[in-house]
Amino acid sequence: MTSSPESDRAAAHQAAAPMAALSRRRFLKTALLGSAGLAVLAGGTFAVLRRSPVDGMAVPDTIRHLSHGEYHLFRRATEVLLPVAGTPLTPLSEVPVLAHIDAMMGLLPAHLRKDVSAGLALFDNAAVVSGWHGRRFVDLDDNAAVAYFDRWSRGHVIQRTLNAVIKQFVYVSYWRDPKTWPPVEFDGPVSDRWGIAYLGNAPLPDESALPQTVENRT
Amino acid sequence: MSTTSNRIEIDSAEMPREGLKVVQASDVTGDRLELSADVVIIGSGAGGAVSAYELARRGLDVLVLEAGPYVPSRDFTEDFTESLETLYEDHGAQANTDGDLLVLQGRCVGGSTVVNGCVSFRTPDFIFEEWHSDYGLTDFTSESMAPYFERVERNLSIQENRPHEIARHSMVLSEGARKLGWSVKPFKRNIRECALTGHCLSGCKTERKQSMLVTYLPWAAAHGARIHSDTRVDRVLSENGRATGVEGRVVDREGRHIADIRVKAPRVIMAAGAVQTPVILQRSGLGNDQVGRNFACHPSFYVGARYPQPIHPWRGAMLGVYVDEFMHPDNGGFVLEVGGLGIAELCMINEPGTGKPFVDYMQKAAHMAGIVTLIHDHNVGEIRWQGDHKAIHYQLSDKDFPSMMASLKAAVRMHLAAGAEEVFLPSSEALSVTREADIDGQVDKLVNKPQHLRMVSYHPQGSCRMGTDPANSACDPQGRLRGVDGVYVADASLLPSSLIVNPQVTVYALANYVADRVS
């Protein structure tokens, strides 16, 4: 139910909706002029080519749409954004968050997919100089990664946008799974479970009992 | 229904007890449909359905074309994410060009009436007065429109919420309003025997919501109206200044182009909603330069707060009460509506912080309650066809920003008076308020810039304004599109200024009014 292609597509569109701010032409312009873009440019080649230990890590064969870099960015983002260990919430190991994100990403229209991809690369690489972390987002420790998100939530329009997009992909991919609902007492679909009767169509109006409008009276 | 090589005919039928006879993409076998009708109506929502019934019962041959799918009530899943895909425009992701304002509209047989919260207001008197003074619309008064309102109110079982329809979130927040001395009232809703599922925005599975899907559309069909879903109208056709019909495409749910369609009709009623109606007219090259302008949308905040006690905001009637204390522009010009929501919305609507603060927030999801703010926004937006896609140009104007902030401060006060522990501000950064003394300081941190605020619009309107002056209106006071005979507008596009309240009853009444004047 919640992992159907239909709901995947809707969830993907919802999560990526803020990207409307960064249509392709505007995205590049904004990236070049914005503080995040400046950070990447200032970092120059060493920033965007900064190697990471995750570069050598594998991606599961089941992942079809996320690139290697995107997969590891979302893997790290999920750990940072959903620290549910030790809480009553459903453990991450029981919810296929990355599989959901992968499915959602595959259903984005091509132009939006390209923008999201560029945005994710920017988010990962800009950490090298944005906040002077000296390393990509995927390599930040938990505290630095949280601080990085928080700083982007207060930053330039492009930073606010990407902060929202990444969080929404992760949050929706977790919370749309019914396994996450019992700990927070969310009921989900109820009509069939409660056996509620269907009322059908309303009966045809009795026009003789209704107020007639001017033109109909005459 | 019977099908010939390139023509579909519907047998006349009595109204079924449930469901609706609809020609869907899966019913179309040829690659070209040629149809004719006395009236072709584009859109099957509030405006299209009422127009269809009123004209069909007068004996006209009515054809309704709906771009979205036909989804029978029994197929509603009560899963909001899935419903966005099947029932909403752009899969629920329709947004302004800045990407910080979602514009939610239904896109299915029945339109937005299938997925709205059932809230039913008559047009406020001061709005009619504004239409009179600013747009010369002297025919629209509370008295002259009363028969129209009464018809739809009776037809749609509109009545005030009874005590059992006031869910816990509405009870708690009513108490907050009362402590502040504010006027708070139960909503009127178009619903029969509400089952209190809280799933209004995913469609009412058991047909209690009196949407167009279970009322005016089956009634229109009983009077002979034909309804086609999956049919996207691209252009209104005209010759020598007179409408001759429409053309478009039949597209299935997977986006496959099944057939072209062409309809001959001397009358065309535009009821595709305030975004699509001007787009189709612009693509058709019809109307004056006002088509698409003057767009308003009631930009809304959903102001969520955490309470010490469980609220379960997804349980009970979704919308229970509202505060009208500030409705008149002289008193602030905003309305506060207490609304429930589900888990999918909850995780996206607030920014409580990153990591642990977010987990703490969601752990307490059952303790959340929310208030939707509505303002009387200025008509500063524009809908524009860009050659290969539509664009919604709408930024919260600096004229409206103070109203938005005033509505937000009032919502925060109401939460705190109701006993909330923490109120989350609808911002891209984590901002919250825990005591009244901090309201101004925290809210005043918000600025009117793209991607700073989290807004939603449920009520797009005004993009084909009616009025007496062609310099500021696309339609005349009878809903006729200027510049071409035989084209009428009968949806929220007509509204000359934003209503401040939920518009469905106004649209029903206006559609009836326009239909009465179709000649």
Q: Answer left, alpha or beta for residue A63, where phi above 0 means left and psi between -120 and 50 means alpha.
A: beta
Residue A163 corresponds to which tokens in the numbers above?
Answer: 């902060």
pLDDT at B241: 97
More confident residue, A21 or B340: B340
pLDDT at B9: 38
For residue A35, name the pLDDT band (cuts at 50, 70, 90).
Answer: very low
Looking at the structure, do residues B473 and B342 belong to the same domain, yes or no?
no
Residue A27 corresponds to which tokens in the numbers above?
Answer: 């995205």
Cβ–Cβ below 8 Å for B343 and A186: yes
B229 assigned to some structural domain: yes
Q: Which of B83, B208, B341, B362 to mutate to test the interface with A (most CBs of A within 10 A)?
A: B362
For residue B344, name the pLDDT band (cuts at 50, 70, 90).
Answer: confident
pLDDT at A39: 43
State the residue range of the domain holding B163. 157-205+300-376+397-452
Nearest CA in chain B to A198: B206
Q: Is residue A101 a contact partner of residue A66, using CB atoms and an 8 Å limit?
A: yes
pLDDT at B301: 95
Q: How many domains does chain A have?
A: 1
B282 assigned to some structural domain: yes
Nearest CB to B79: which of A161, A189, A213? A189
Looking at the structure, do residues B192 and B320 belong to the same domain, yes or no?
yes
Mean pLDDT of B259-279: 98
Mean pLDDT of A129-141: 83
Using a CB-CB cut-off of 8 Å, the residues of chain A touching B386 are none
Looking at the structure, do residues B193 and B225 belong to the same domain, yes or no?
no
Q: Is residue B20 a contact partner of residue B218, using CB atoms and an 8 Å limit?
A: yes
Q: How many domains does chain B have?
A: 2
pLDDT at A109: 78
B81 assigned to some structural domain: no
For residue A113, name the pLDDT band (cuts at 50, 70, 90).
Answer: confident
Mean pLDDT of B336-355: 92
What is the distance between the alpha carbons of residues A197 and B114, in angstroms, rounded to a whole number?
Answer: 18
pLDDT at A1: 41
Q: Is residue B280 a contact partner of residue B270, using CB atoms and an 8 Å limit?
A: yes
State the residue range of the domain holding A134. 5-217
For residue B345, name the pLDDT band (cuts at 50, 70, 90).
Answer: confident
User: Residue A131 above 80 pLDDT?
Assistant: no
CA dihedral B274, B100, B315, B365 (to 10 degrees): 180
Looking at the structure, do residues B183 and B240 belong to the same domain, yes or no?
no
Q: Which residues contact B283 (CB under 8 A, 6 or more apart)?
A: B234, B235, B385
**Closest CA of chain B from A1, distance in Å:** 8
Looking at the structure, do residues B240 and B349 belong to the same domain, yes or no?
no
User: Residue B6 above 90 pLDDT?
Assistant: no
Looking at the structure, do residues B255 and B305 belong to the same domain, yes or no?
no
Looking at the structure, do residues B175 and B223 belong to the same domain, yes or no?
no
pLDDT at A217: 41
The pLDDT > 90 percentage for chain B reads 91
Q: Average pLDDT of chain A?
A: 82
Mean pLDDT of B303-318: 97
Looking at the structure, do residues B509 and B409 belong to the same domain, yes or no?
no
- B472-508 residue pLDDT tens: 999 999 999 999 999 999 999 999 999 999 999 999 9
Looking at the structure, do residues B279 and B420 belong to the same domain, yes or no?
no
Looking at the structure, do residues B370 and B491 belong to the same domain, yes or no?
no
Domain CATH number, residue B494 = 3.50.50.60
Nearest CA in chain B to A175: B344
B126 assigned to some structural domain: no
User: Residue A32 above 70 pLDDT?
Assistant: no
Looking at the structure, do residues B444 and B492 belong to the same domain, yes or no?
no
For residue B3, name the pLDDT band (cuts at 50, 70, 90).
Answer: very low
- B212-231 residue pLDDT tens: 999 999 999 999 999 999 99
**Closest CA of chain A from B281, distance in Å:** 24
Indicate the residue among B452, B475, B497 that finishes a domain.
B452
User: Residue B1 above 50 pLDDT?
Assistant: no
Using a CB-CB cut-off of 8 Å, the residues of chain A touching B155 are 202, 205, 210
More confident residue, B84 or B49: B49
User: Residue B424 above 50 pLDDT?
Assistant: yes
Looking at the structure, do residues B343 and B433 belong to the same domain, yes or no?
yes
Nearest CA in chain A to B93: A14
- B241-254 residue pLDDT tens: 999 999 999 999 88
Closest CA to B305 of B334, B332, B355, B341: B341
Mean pLDDT of B202-219: 98
For residue A28, name the pLDDT band (cuts at 50, 70, 90).
Answer: very low
SS3 call for B96: coil
B131 assigned to some structural domain: no
B64 assigned to some structural domain: yes
B170 assigned to some structural domain: yes
Element (H or E) spanning B392, and its range? strand B390-393
B78 assigned to some structural domain: no
- A190-212 residue pLDDT tens: 999 999 999 999 999 999 999 99
